[in-house]
Amino acid sequence: MDHYDIAIIGAGLAGSLTAIALARKGHRVALVGPKPAIADGRTTALMDQSIGYLKTLGLWDETEPLTAPLVAIRILDGTRRLFRAPPVNFRASEVGLEAFGYNIPNSPFLDILEKHEMALSTLERTTAAAARFDLGGAEVLIGLGDGRTISADLVIGADGRRSTVREAAGIDVKTWSYPQAAIVLNFGHELPHQDVSTEFHTESGPFTQVPLPGNRSSLVWVQKPHDAEETLKLAPDALSRTIEDRMQSILGKITTEGTPQSFPLSGLAARRFGKGRILLVGEAAHAFPPIGAQGLNLSLRDIMTLVDLIGRPAGSRLPADTGDRFDGRRRADIVSRTASVDLLNRSLLSNFLPVQALRAAGLHLLASAGPLRGLLMREGIHPGSALQAFKEGLREQIGRKSA
């Protein structure tokens, strides 16, 4: 029976990145899971901190040509409500960056990760599914769908919302749903996007255009489920015209590409993010609507934390309480991000006038208050940095008064 330091269950973006990061540290890693049945047509906007980590892993040089930078993010109120907000523009230059991050197509990104997996001598990739787990001994036994059994000191669940690893560990989840579905697609356009992402806030949710290389962009369009069904029925020309109208023709003529995909929106939070020899990353631990480019960025912070926690191979078995320590280190970040995305999404859906007024007032404040806008941008890019900047500023003011 083959033994590994770490077995990672789930070979999507989160699982593949985890496997590469740990294998590069010298751990013997098994990456377990079948390839996706269909190509993932979505894109992922990774922020500056995440891009820095891709560079650390040696992945950025091959990935960068696929991407488009996000030099600015523009929020426009597309509602017809009594309380409407002014346009808000966030520019990376305001916080000393060339770009907030980069938008990456998921499918070719996975291809790059697979290439790097094959080049790592300490990483073994198996496309068999994990069928059963035995957590009762000094190591975890994993029965595979091809009849083999492997063992590992630690098991990382990166196997999505219906995580078999989470279930085997007996970790409960809190789930919730929204009366929304997200349509995702890519499209070409007549006018250049100038590396600006535009997010229209509508009564049914955000309508978000994110740049791709050239005169192309990706779209995440959140609608009511019935409206999403009707949108998917549109012929390509009619869909292109509908998107152009929704975007107020700011990018000129629109031409959609391929077949749109649709996903119901819901949320999930594990009650624990680690337990004993089990650790959860990505959507096995947390999932929420595609708002504010938080999903994979949060997952990459999971990965950064676990790699730092596990460290390099020490010649002995990895500790049996690693999952419990990981849970403590990830809790504050995951809980705060999940709550903030949920609050923003529900504020768009609410018909309660005081809620609409508060949301509009908040965007008015962001539009007019540069320092506050800067703090918010720093926090979005590097979580925890806004609080640190506030503390440093407070110390500086106290120091001046004492001098």
pLDDT tens digit sequence for 312-327 = 988 889 999 999 999 9
> How many angstroms separate the CA atoms of 326 and 4, rounded?
20
Contacts of 159 (CB under 8 A, 6+ apart): 9, 10, 15, 33, 130, 165, 284
Residue with the larger pLDDT of the pair 86 and 261: 261
- The per-residue pLDDT for 378 is 57
Q: How far apart (Å, rounded) are the C-alpha atoms in residues 268 and 161?
A: 7
Predicted confidence (pLDDT) per residue in 62-84, tens digit:
999 999 999 998 888 756 654 45
The predicted pLDDT at position 383 comes to: 64
Q: How far is CA 339 from CA 37, 295, 334, 362, in A?
A: 32, 13, 9, 17
264: three-class secondary structure by DSSP: strand
- pLDDT attached to residue 293: 60
Contact 12, 282 (CB under 8 A): yes
Q: How many CB atoms are located within 10 Å of the residue 366 CB? A: 19
Higher pLDDT, 38 or 323: 323
pLDDT for the residue numbered 380: 61
pLDDT-derived band at 302 (thresholds 50, 70, 90) equals very high
What's the CA gap between 260 and 186, in Å, rounded? 8
Determine the pLDDT at residue 79. 60
Q: What value does the mean pLDDT take over residues 25-45?
A: 88
What is the mean predicted confidence (pLDDT) over 134-161? 95
Q: How do residues 86-133 score in pLDDT, each as one tens digit?
A: 677 888 888 888 998 999 999 999 999 999 999 999 999 999 999 999
What pLDDT score does 384 carry?
61
Beta bridge partners of 151: 3, 141
Confidence of residue 362 (pLDDT cuts 50, 70, 90): low
Residue 96 CB partners (closer than 8 Å, separation 6+) = none
Q: Give dist(CA 101, CA 55) in Å, integer.
A: 13
Q: For residue 173, give the nearest of 284, 331, 295, 264 by alpha carbon.
A: 284
pLDDT of residue 71: 94
Confidence of residue 153 (pLDDT cuts 50, 70, 90): very high
Q: What is the C-alpha separation between 188 and 256, in angstroms, rounded?
A: 6
Q: Which residue has the higher pLDDT, 370 or 301?
A: 301
> Does residue 167 or residue 369 have the better pLDDT?
167
Q: With bands split at pLDDT 50, 70 and 90, how would you rate the model's confidence at 225?
A: very high
Q: pLDDT class for 365, splitting at 50, 70, 90?
A: very low
- Residue matched to tokens 């995909």: 261
- Give 205-216 pLDDT, tens digit per residue: 889 999 999 999
Residue 78 or residue 294, greater confidence: 294
Task: Give the pLDDT confidence of 275-288 residue by residue, as tens digits.
Answer: 999 999 999 999 98
How long a stretch of residues is the chain? Answer: 403
User: Which residue in 262, 264, 108 sits closest to 185, CA to CA?
Assistant: 262
- pLDDT at residue 395 greater than cutoff 60: no
pLDDT at residue 382, rounded to an integer: 63
**pLDDT band at residue 340 under the 50/70/90 scheme:** confident
Is the pLDDT at 358 greater than 60, yes or no? no
Is residue 379 pLDDT above 70, yes or no? no
Please list, in sequence order, all residues whose beta carbon lies within 8 angstroms of the beta carbon of residue 65, skipping any fewer than 6 positions away. Answer: 213
- pLDDT at position 316 is 86
Which domains can be identified in the chain, with CATH numbers?
A: 3-61+104-175+267-346 (3.50.50.60), 69-102+178-266 (3.30.9.10)
